[in-house]
Copies of this chain bind each other. A is one copy, B any other.
């Protein structure tokens, strides 16, 4: 309805959703609320108290919301097109899209107010028995179906072109693959207890740096599948009966392990948080630690199983059809996922994009312990990623580091 881009305010937004969707009557009273909490975009909820109907409007501006850094509006097209595509591949696991408007760089989509952001729910030690089934459905369906096993060659190449995403890839290349290893830590970026460990040992570990470089090059070159690109627990809405994945604005054709590793790492933040707080948390949920370990194991094991089933059934190329080839391929997905698990952990612990799961651990001694456990696990995941074959191997590694941590001073 608008013919030139501007940042919509309350009245504009109410008018906009009335005109652009058929969910509301012309004369209906609508209310508006700013629900954005990310750095990048403007997110509003618009709803009718009378009908109870509601939508979310996500709009991109030419500068980011908080830091006011210039950022290409194209991220909004990528997000909207990907949401539509994901709705086809994994219906029910992403919000419905009512409108994508390239002029306004805006998407009107399903309101997920009934669900909560997974990161905060995990911090409260809430468990979600359906989560690993849902997230592995989402990943297997969106990832396997956009590989060369399934997509016709020319169709895939056209999609690769449509989802080239330089601005958002640049952010990941810096925040995930570079800064945690090349920007010295300070007393404000890491617990003081870990400062010399990071600066004098971790960032000087040449084996680690070379493996990170190999993973970075893979991120920059490997057009393996159309990945979500930012699949942490802040991009996942949960309820006991539902899981919805949002915010695919980092999407591009990249390594499958990038999505899987993000899920694993963010479950591990919740796991390590609960572990170090197990004796001091007054509202501890005794079922949480066993559940989160199981969720980690199932998220990789069920993913590999479901992914394997899809390519077995839907692969169209004789070349890729043997059991031995597919088995080797699936094994490489586990390794790649573990590598990224380590990278995502370090990004959040050492890098600038912290997660509250870790930063809010008190007292600070426990926070330092959690950071150290996480960094040790991350290094193991990155350097020895080809030796991991299943979720049980991950739990075993974490268990050993927990044991070892009891002996740290």
Interface residue ranges, A against B (CB under 8 Å): 148, 153-154, 156-158, 160-161, 164-167, 169-170, 173, 177-178, 181-182, 206, 209-210, 212-214, 216-217, 220-224, 317-320, 322, 324-325, 328-329
A164 x B157 contact (CB < 8 A): yes
Report if A166-B153 is in contact (Cβ < 8 Å); known contacts: A210-B325, A222-B221. yes
CA distance A217 to B329 in the complex (A): 10
Identical chains in the assembly = 2
Contact call B224/A181, Cβ cutoff below 8 A: no
Q: Bound complex: CA of A148 vs CA of B219, how far in Å?
A: 11
Known: A319-B213, A324-B206. A167 touches B154 (CB 8 A): yes
Flag if A318 contacts B221 (CB, 8 Å). no
Residues of B within 8 A of A317 (CB): 178, 216
Bound Cα distance A178, B224 (Å): 19
Q: In the complex the two chains form, is B153's CB within 8 Å of A157's CB?
A: no
Q: Which residue of B153, B212, B222, B322 is within 8 Å of A209 (Cβ)? A: B322
Cβ-neighbour of A170 out of B154, B161, B220 (below 8 A): B154
**How distant is A214 from chain B, measured CB to nearest CB, in Å?**
7
Kindly identify which residue among B148, B181, B319 contacts A221, using a CB–CB cutoff of 8 Å: B148
Instruction: Report B-chain residues with C-beta under 8 Å of the C-beta of A153.
Output: 166, 169-170, 173, 220
A161: chain B residues within 8 A (beta carbon)? 161, 164
Per DSSP, are chain A's interface residues mostly helix, strand or loop, or mixed? helix
A-B contact pairs, 13 of them (CB 8 A): A154-B166, A154-B167, A157-B166, A157-B169, A158-B164, A178-B317, A206-B324, A210-B325, A213-B325, A214-B325, A216-B320, A217-B320, A221-B224
CA distance A167 to B154 in the complex (A): 7
Q: How far is the CA of A153 from the CA of B175 in the complex (A)?
A: 14
Given B178, B214, B221, which contacts A223 in the complex, CB threshold below 8 Å?
Answer: B221
Contact of A318 (CB < 8 Å), options: B182, B224, B328: B182
* 5 further interface pairs, Cβ-Cβ under 8 Å (given A154-B166, A157-B169, A223-B223): A157-B166, A158-B164, A206-B322, A210-B325, A222-B223
Closest-by-CB residue of B relative to A332 is B214
Provide the bound-state CA to CA distance between A216 and B318, in Å.
11
Contact of A322 among B158, B160, B213 (CB under 8 A): B213
CB distance from A80 to the nearest CB of B (A): 19
- Say yes or no: B164 contacts A160, CB within 8 Å: yes
Asked whether A177 lies within 8 Å of B319 as measured between CB atoms, the reply is yes
Q: Name the B residues within 8 Å of A177 (CB-CB).
A: 319
Residues of B within 8 A of A212 (CB): 319
Q: Identify A324's interface contact among B169, B210, B216, CB under 8 A.
A: B210
Residues on B with beta carbons closer than 8 Å to the beta carbon of A213? 319-320, 322, 325
- Bound-state CA distance A319–B178 (Å) is 7
A98 to B387, CA, bound (A): 55
Residue among A170, A209, A210, A329 facing the most chain B CB atoms (10 A cut-off): A210
Contact A319 to B216, CB < 8 A, known contacts A166-B153, A206-B324, A324-B206: yes
Contacts of A156 on B, CB cut-off 8 Å? 220
Q: Are B166 and A158 in contact, CB atoms less than 8 angstroms apart? A: yes
Which residues from B are CB-within-8-Å of A206? 322, 324
Question: Which residue of chain B is the closest to A165 with respect to CB atoms?
Answer: B157
